[in-house]
């Protein structure tokens, strides 16, 4: 099992998402995990305000970073390009990452 596979299981990163790269910086004291998704992936989107829901392809992406639980004594950050989807009528909305927490900038487990 590779490092990426191990961390994918621990973080519950599932298709279409995958861990693209991991960087451990001893000097800075942190672990950076970069998550990506397969090109052409389809994402579930539901907007309770407008009632729009369905499966959509990525329109574009926006880079986000989340603070995760520490990796031993080292800070851990998740980085990902999160897709935005075109829901019609000129409206583009961002998909919610499965690991995103209720508070902006923190993961669900944090």
In tens, the pLDDT along 16-58 reads 999 999 999 999 999 999 999 999 999 999 888 778 899 999 9
What radius of gyration, in Å, describes the C-alpha atoms of the chain? 15
Q: How confident is the model at residue 9 (pLDDT cuts 50, 70, 90)?
A: confident
Number of C-beta neighbours around residue 4 at 10 A? 15
Number of H helices, E strands in the chain: 1, 6
Q: The pTM is what? A: 0.85
Which residues does 26 contact at the CB level (< 8 Å), separation at least 6?
A: none
Surface-to-core class of residue 41, CB atoms within 10 Å of its CB (0-12 exposed, 13-18 middle, 19+ buried): middle
- Does 105 or 12 have the greater pLDDT score? 12
User: What percentage of residues in the chain have a pLDDT greater than 90?
Assistant: 55
């Amino acid at each position: 099992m590779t490092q990426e596979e191990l961390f994918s299981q621990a973080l519950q990163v599932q298709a279409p998402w995958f861990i693209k790269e991991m960087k451990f910086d001893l000097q800075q004291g942190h672990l950076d995990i970069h998550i990506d998704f397969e090109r052409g992936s389809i994402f579930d989107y539901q907007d309770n305000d407008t009632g729009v829901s369905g499966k959509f392809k990525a329109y574009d992406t926006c880079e986000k970073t989340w603070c995760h639980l520490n990796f031993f004594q080292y800070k851990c950050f998740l980085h990902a390009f999160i897709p935005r989807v075109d829901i019609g009528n000129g409206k583009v909305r961002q998909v919610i990452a499965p690991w995103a927490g209720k508070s902006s900038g923190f993961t669900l487990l944090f």
